[in-house]
């Protein structure tokens, strides 16, 4: 199984590997798993609460080259986007950018899930900090 050049680019070396401070109110953490192949992705975003712009993103992934590349690409795309733009990122865009074969599409789906989980975590932290925002 030959890898596309794009996948290799994200592997040698991968971009944005690392961790952000989980406990910080500006950081959202998403950890997702794909039962079918055992992959695990952790994706974190640091959001500017005033502007809603993602200032930093980091990832760690246990999985094949395509999974690593998908999550690395995701962090690259997230930096500079707003939270709502991040939620609009679709796995199909990742598939196209990395030229993922059919058997690896689930890796891109996992990356999309990781983004949503991270944003979701950030949002729930923000809501918890501002209880008046919950009032309808």
Partner 1 sequence: MKTPIYMDNHATTRMDPRVFEAMKPYFMDVFGNAASRNHSFGWEAEEAVEKSRKQIADLIGATAKEIVFTSGATESNNLALKGVAEMYAERGDHIITQVIEHKAVLDTCRRLERDGVRVTYLPVKQDGLIDLDQLRDAITDKTILISVMYANNEIGVVQPMKEIGKIAKEKGVLFHSDAAQAVGKIPVNVVQDGIDLLSLTGHKLYGPKGVGALYVRRRNPRVQLTAQMDGGGHERGMRSGTLNVPGIVGLGAACEIAKREMQEETKRMSFLRDKLKDKLMSELDEVFVNGSIENGSIEHRLPHNLNISFAYVDGESLLMGINDIAVSSGSACTSATLEPSYVLKALGAGDDLAHSSIRFGIGRFNTEEEVDYVANRVIEVVRKLRELSPLYEMAKAGVDLSKVSLTAH
Residue 4 or 53 having the CB closest to partner 1: 4
Identify whether the C-beta of residue 28 lies closer than 8 Å to the C-beta of residue 118: yes
Please report how close the Cβ of residue 136 comes to partner 1 at its closest, in angstroms.
27
Which chain residues interact with partner 1 by CB under 8 A? Answer: 1, 3, 8, 11, 14, 17, 19, 30-42, 60-68, 103, 106, 109-110, 113, 117
Please report how close the Cβ of residue 39 comes to partner 1 at its closest, in angstroms.
7
Residue 54 or 115 having the CB closest to partner 1: 115
Residue 68 or 86 having the CB closest to partner 1: 68
Identify whether the C-beta of residue 104 lies closer than 8 Å to the C-beta of residue 80: no
Q: Distance between CA 60 and CA 58 in Å, rounded?
A: 7
- Print the SS3 string covering 32-93: EEECCCCEEEEEEEEEECCCCEEEEEEEEEECCHHHHHHHHHHHHHHCCCEHHHHHCCCHHH
Please report how close the Cβ of residue 64 comes to partner 1 at its closest, in angstroms.
4
Q: Distance between CA 51 and CA 88 in Å, rounded?
A: 17
The catalytic site residues sit at 37, 107
């Amino acid at each position: 199984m030959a890898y596309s050049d794009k996948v290799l680019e994200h592997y040698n070396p991968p971009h944005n590997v690392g961790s952000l401070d989980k406990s910080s109110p500006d950081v959202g953490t998403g950890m997702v798993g794909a039962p079918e192949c055992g992959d695990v992705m952790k994706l974190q975003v640091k959001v500017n609460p005033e502007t809603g712009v993602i200032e930093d993103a980091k990832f760690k992934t246990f999985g094949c080259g395509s999974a690593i590349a998908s999550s690395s690409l995701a962090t690259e795309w997230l930096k500079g986007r707003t939270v709502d733009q991040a939620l609009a990122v679709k796995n199909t865009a990742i598939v196209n950018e990395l030229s993922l074969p059919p058997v690896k599409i689930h890796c891109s789906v996992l990356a999309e899930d990781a983004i949503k989980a991270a944003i979701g975590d950030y949002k729930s932290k923000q809501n918890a900090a501002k209880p008046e925002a919950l009032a309808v």
